[in-house]
Amino acid sequence: MAAPTQTIEVPSDAELMQAQADLWRHSLYYLTSMGLRCAVELGIPTTIHRLGGAASVSDLMAALSLPENKLPFFRRLMRVLVTAGVFAADGSGDAERFGLTPLSRILVDGVVADEHHSQRCFVLGPTCRHSVEAAFNLAEWFKKELASPVPSPFEDLHGARLFEESTPLLDPEMDAVVNEARAAHDNLGIGTLLRECRDLFKGVNSLTDCCGRHGETARAIVKAFPHINCTVFDLPWLVNQAPRDGVVNYVAGDAFHSNVPPAQAVMLKLVLHHLSDDDCVKILGQCRKAVPSQKEGGKVIVIDILVDPSLGPVMFEAQLMMDMLMMVNTRGRQRDENEWHHLFTKAGFSDYKIAKKIGARAVFEVFP
């Protein structure tokens, strides 16, 4: 017996042409990412800054010591990056000059300024060979039978987990880049956080920054609120790399198995989105034990991405891309409010509130 004929709705002519254009965009978006990586590797944002904030193609070619016969190709690269919002353009033809946008300003290197954390490595990390290979292997990973807890595609392919002591054994250069990328990403906006959330620290006399790595956030808190006694708690290999100048205290330990240093407040800043739900509950439970009751002013401060479509299509898409990044490279995820509520409840907390939304992130006060 012949198989039934499969039919499909035929799009209109206009829909067909738009579908093809959308297919081009989605299939070729990786070229925008690679163009951005190229700009960072060449140092284009930093060069524009050093040339006074605006430069022609000829100026940039000369400053970057690029071969003259690459000029038409360089112009095409810049056109794509202008369209993507990486650079601004003014004028046309030989008079066209390229400038920085807010996006490319945070890619400028070698600048000493308050609250400037160059995001150069955040471009290089997610577009590095190991990360791209993990994403390229996504279909095979979905089809593969893997025991729980399910390793990420990165871990399954490379046999190492990001941000752990095993990563340098895979590729020490890549490890250095992704750790610098994480530090730059996590430290961007500290000043905004402290300005927008001053009430968050009102009445807080002691604070433990759990998984606070080298203590950049804790040091910024002490600078803004000198009365707060801050302790950074993280793994020994991270704590051992931290500066010892007496600004903050450092305690080495494993948040899954060691007691979190007690304080009036414990902070988890951009930690939990790297972790599975089960691991989040374990760390949250450890943090809950380290703070006094809500009546005594105890709380856990969670700063992390809060997936929310109401932020608009651009910010929401950025959050979903960050979720895909977590899925491919870690065992973590980005979460909506219901998912955060579930974690807090499962970890034994009685209540929470969203103190502030800052861009794609939210600041939660979670009460024991």
The separation between the first and the last C-alpha atoms of the chain, rounded to the nearest angstrom, is: 66
Unique residue bearing structure tokens 């960072």: 40
Q: Is 234 helix (H, G, I), strand (E, B) or coil?
A: strand
Give the separation between CA 226 and CA 111, rounded to whole angstroms. 26
Between the CA atoms of 118, 120, 123 and 129, what dihedral angle is there, to the nearest 10 degrees? -140
Q: Is 106 helix (H, G, I), strand (E, B) or coil?
A: coil
Q: Is 8 helix (H, G, I), strand (E, B) or coil?
A: coil
Give the separation between CA 150 and CA 331, rounded to whole angstroms. 8
Unique residue bearing structure tokens 């969670």: 302
Amino acid at 348: G
Q: How far is CA 50 from the centre of its chain?
A: 27
- The pairing of strands 97-100 and 265-269 is unpaired
Per the residue annotation, which of 117, 130, 158, 273 is the catalytic one?
Answer: 273
**Is residue 273 annotated as a catalytic residue, yes or no?**
yes
DSSP 8-state symbol, 306: B
What φ, ψ does residue 56 adopt, rounded to 5°? Answer: -80, 170
Catalytic residues: 273
